[in-house]
Amino acid sequence: MERKTNKIKRIRGYALVMVFAGLIIMYLGVFFRETPWLFGLFILAGFIPLGFSVIIYFWVGMVSTRIITVECPNCERPTKFLGRVDYCYFCKEPLTIDKELEGEEFNLDYNVQHRRDAFVARKKQKEDQ
Ligand SMILES: [Zn+2]
């Protein structure tokens, strides 16, 4: 799967895929409506991805309190930003709000706290030499 997309866009994409997966599974159950237990099984199985999508949407709602809006320097449109590094919602420009990571090679690993700290420590070490 293409990872070069804005995080919020990607999470919403996953949730949408789950909704469709659930509906498709339930729809397939219609072919077995002569067999009630099999039909029921498909309906139940369809609820699993639907449940996941609800959890994802709920989680997006939770993290959206941590979302900040920044103006993209490339396309000058306000883009929703999550974490330390993310791609622009519109033009996929890699962006960072972390001063230490400015001008560095883009890597989504920097959203992981200990990897980011390790990177900054290594960079500081290099500068001291
Ligand atoms: Zn942009």
Domain ranges of the chain: 7-65, 68-128
Contacts of 68 (CB under 8 A, 6+ apart): 80, 81, 97
Are the beta carbons of 90 and 79 closer than 8 angstroms?
Answer: yes
Rounded mean pLDDT of 101-111? 88
- Positive or negative, the Cα torsion across 104, 105, 111, 116? negative
How many A from CA of 86 to the centre of ligand 1?
11
pTM above 0.85, yes or no: no
How many A from CA of 107 to the centre of ligand 1?
17
User: For 69-93, what is each residue's pLDDT tens digit?
Assistant: 999 999 999 999 888 899 999 999 9
Q: Report angle CA 128, 126, 102 to the nearest 5 degrees.
A: 105
Task: Measure Cα distances from 57 to 53, 54, 63 in Å.
Answer: 6, 5, 10
DSSP-assigned beta bridge partners for residue 69: 80
How many A from CA of 63 to the centre of ligand 1?
22
3-state secondary structure of 2: coil
| pLDDT value of residue 85 | 92
How many A from CA of 6 to the centre of ligand 1?
10
User: For 10-38, what is each residue's pLDDT tens digit?
Assistant: 888 999 999 999 999 999 999 998 999 99
| pLDDT value of residue 7 | 86
